[in-house]
Amino acid sequence: MSSQRFEGRVALVTGASRGIGFATAQRLVDEGARVCITARKPAALEAAVEQLGGSDKAVFVAGSGDDRDHQAAAVELAVASFGRLDVLVNNTGINPAYGPLLDLDDGAARKMFEVNVLAALSWVRLAHRAWMAAHGGAIVNIASVAGFTPAPGIAFYGVTKAALIGLTKQLAVELAPRVRVNAVAPAVVKTRFAEKLYADDEDAAAANYLLKRLGDPADVAAAVAYLASDDASWTTGQTAVVDGGMIGGL
């Protein structure tokens, strides 16, 4: 890419062995960043690091996104490997339960809230303490259009994403002016995570969008890169809807 908006900067991207997280890490590296990526499976992360350009460009830590020791290890590795931590992308999210809210298992609901909301706060806290409090930075949370509108079948996932959007606004207030905090809210993106929402009939799913296609991970990565860059230096507390014309502005 011709743009090198992240030259000399370092990013930590969670849930980045594939899908939106990997596409985001790739976009940041393409624009000059070095990255620390996380996910649960070491083999997938090793392959992702190779795709990103090897250890000169990327390092990884495997673990569960809501595990505090894992979070601390990833932040520590990012700073130890590359000397700083300018960007945090909270991409890790889960949705282990489908169906009506009244049938939702309490344990599954608690786990979703822990991973999708509380873990994001914990990642921010650690990145802030390690680098951003003294030097500034940018944080981008990956939310969802389900956080804005009812989402039958994935309703509690939507509840957690609504909470993440609220968390984004609160953190923007608390961390200003040195740290900017924004979010991106995608509609259905063609990833393994979202397969249940489109696999049976992709054309029918895409018909609900003005642009008549589902999202690609690169679509979301582009929005994340903008919000994390100096091009968005006067933007904080906002959630950018990336939805192919499903709800944004309509």
Question: Which residues are known catalytic residues?
Answer: 157
Residue appearing with tokens 């969008």? 209
Nearest by Cα to 61 from 118, 17, 30, 25:
17
